[in-house]
Amino acid sequence: MIIDECNQINYKRTKTMKKSTLNIITLLTIITPTLSFATDQNSPANVTKKVASQNSSVKTFTILYSNSKNIAPNSFTVITGERVRLEVNPLDTASGCMNTIMVPGLWDKPEPIIKGKKIVMEFTPQHAGSYKITCAMGINRGVIVVK
């Protein structure tokens, strides 16, 4: 919103700024280079991706959250010392005590589940074992098995 020198809202300039902002966002979306990922064919529904970077590789798991199905998929296996990226794409906003997600021992910060807001958790497991995917109160949503 633009306020002119007489403390009046200048609707014409406000509308122009909104349109310009939208054009910039659209342009950035178009010109931003897209990354190509090699899909792991051993993964159910091709949800596991391996992304190579300069110093290491990151194993990426993409999870969908919905109020009706919670998280899907909800079970993952990784290797000790392997960099992991867990991406949660909420289709709904969670409510109540289940409104957060975390992986105690791997990602200890509860992340709020908000529709359309991707949650990214990156970690490198140091110890083998089973790590529950939970809400902040510890209610089980799934598991990450570290070998």
The whole-number mean pLDDT for each consecutive block of 10 residues of the chain, a chain of 147 residues, reads 53 54 41 35 37 60 92 92 94 90 94 95 95 93 94
pLDDT for the residue numbered 37: 33
pLDDT for the residue numbered 97: 81
pLDDT for the residue numbered 3: 52
Beta-carbon count within 10 A of 65 CB: 22
Give CA separation, 128 vs 103, 106, 121, in Å.
14, 11, 18
pLDDT for the residue numbered 40: 36
Report the C-alpha gap between 54 and 134 in whole angstroms.
Answer: 32
Q: Which of 56, 110, 45, 65 is nearest to 85 (CA)?
A: 56
Q: Which of 57, 105, 116 is nearest to 81 (CA)?
A: 57
SS3 label, residue 81: coil
pLDDT for the residue numbered 99: 93
